[in-house]
Amino acid sequence: MAGASQDWMEKDFYKALGVSKDASADEIKRAYRKLAKQYHPDRNPGDESAEDRFKEVGEAYQVLSNEEDRKQYDAIRALSGGGPRFAAGSGGPGGAGGAGFEDIFSMFGGGNGGNVRFSSSGGGAGGGFDDILSQMFGGGGGFGSSRRPQRGQDLATEVSIPLRDAVSGSTVKMTAADGRTVTARIPAGVSEGQKIRVSGKGGAGANGGPAGDIIVTIHVEKHPVYEVRGNDVYVDVPVSFGEAALGGTVEVPTLDGKNVSVKVPAGSSTDKLLRVKHRGLPKGKVARGDMYVRLKVMVPKKMSDEARKAAELFTAATRDADPRADFMKLARS
């Protein structure tokens, strides 16, 4: 406690997070998440000032997010002049004013303020300032109980992974709020926004207590072809005009690296959805999902004279088929 008290006297954790001293727990959490994201080393590679700021923000949150630590920090800052000031005297003649500085110590020591002595050294009968704080916040009373083993704080971080890694699982390295590099195993089948817990890698425990955990929020990066909804997979598949008009069979790759043959019905249009059963993703004990193939009819940007003539003949032969007939009715409804 002594080392922490001296350190806390010199640091303004509220200023580090940009919040007021009466900020709520939610306000502190929001401020921390915003700043941690802004100064995260992954977003500022090689920027030492950003890394230092990231560590400062993490330390501030670790203290202010814990109710007991915050009480102790506020008290220490008040006594050292970093927080609300205490009156030096009794408030004027007659003694009808605020409590004196010595009265604050008498609250914890049980005697009158005149018995409190300060010393610049750790020895001697009087003891040092840290010794007084140790009595205040140690096992003897006051805010008390800091001599008991205390579990370390849980730390929060975020990580972005490719879709294929989310499907198959992976191992990632990330930077915790205190600047440490931590390796975490991402299980197969994680989804956007899911949280996983890395045990024993959070804030250090006090007085022999266990370390806290790291809570990791997973973000799944968008894929240019695949989209996952639950345990179903949607995939956009380009087809030629001839395949769409006359029908055919196309090979479609799946997320597990295999191919599946999909039959395209004659007369298909863009965005026609074809269902391929049991080619989606397994998820726990739930049966494997399906894959949905969304057709995208592709027209060549450049056509040979022969192809152009064929297109003209096709247009002439289908001039009675109005592709916008239903569209016009819907537009006027």
- Rounded distance, CA 41 to CA 50, Å? 7
Let me know the angle formed at the C-alpha of 243 by 237 and 247, rounded to the nearest 5 degrees: 110
Closest CA to 249 of 261, 235, 266: 261
Average pLDDT over residues 279-297: 84
Task: Give the pLDDT band of residue 147 (cuts 50, 70, 90).
Answer: low
- Whether 189 and 168 have beta carbons less than 8 Å apart is answered as no
Nearest to 279 by CA among 321, 325, 210, 226: 226
pLDDT tens digit sequence for 170-207: 899 887 666 778 888 998 888 888 899 988 888 888 88
Is 142's pLDDT higher than 50?
no
What does the radius of gyration of the chain's CA atoms come to, in whole angstroms? 33
Ranked by mean pLDDT, the top range of 33-37, 96-100, 181-185, 270-274 is: 270-274
Domains 155-220 and 226-332 share a fold: yes
Rounded mean pLDDT, 81-98 = 44
Residues 6+ apart with CB under 8 A from 243: 250, 264, 268
Domain residue extents for the chain: 2-85+117-137, 155-220, 226-332
CATH for 155-220 is 2.60.260.20
Partners of 164 in beta bridges? none
Higher pLDDT among residues 135 and 288, named by residue = 288
CATH fit for domain 2-85+117-137, picks 3.40.50.300, 3.20.20.150, 1.10.287.110, 1.20.120.420: 1.10.287.110
Domain made up of 226-332: CATH architecture? Sandwich (2.60)
Q: 156: which strand partners?
A: 215
> pTM for this structure?
0.49
Which ranges of 117-169 does DSSP label H, i.e. alpha helix? 129-137, 163-168
Residue 140 clears pLDDT 70, i.e. is over it: no
